[in-house]
Amino acid sequence: MTERFPAGLPTPAPDIDPQTLPYWEGARAGRLVLPWCGSCAQPFWYPRGFCPRCGSEDLHWREASGTGQVYSYTVVRRAGGVWAAVLPFVLGLVQLKEGPIVQGNIIDTDSDELAVGQPVLAMFENAAPDEPPVLRFGPVRP
Ligand SMILES: [Zn+2]
């Protein structure tokens, strides 16, 4: 039986601090922006004010391709709170083309389309018009 995992998941308002503002400004514009370390010249995830590899605070924010592939995933069938109303849903790990592995919900997809290695695209969902959107992933379709 094919299961459908739609968009429209609950989207808690994120906490935004000055160190992650470039990421959230990109998200508001529908662009996935990654922090790159100016010292070791690699991107990292999650957004923060220093490189987790070397500790450098010399960061550069660059728009990512928005493409990646499913690294791993699970279908969540039991949850509490607002999430109980949208079961089942998919929590995934997506390896971006740029390298970092990002946790996020995989939406707008069917169980038939879900597999490790499956290409996905970054997208953003809003909880409310005045709140910044949250990163999700959806399938690549021709
Ligand atoms: Zn670094």
pLDDT of residue 124: 93
The domain made up of 13-139 is a member of CATH 2.40.50.100? no
How much distance in Å is there from the Cα of 100 to the middle of ligand 1? Answer: 13
Banded model confidence at residue 109, pLDDT cuts 50, 70, 90? very high
Q: Are 107 and 114 in contact (CB under 8 A)?
A: no
Separation of CA 44 and ligand 1 centre (Å) = 9
Cα 126 from Cα 138, distance rounded (Å): 15
Mean pLDDT over 114-137 rounds to 90
Beta bridge partners of 35: 61
Q: How far is the CA of 60 from the centre of ligand 1 (A)?
A: 11
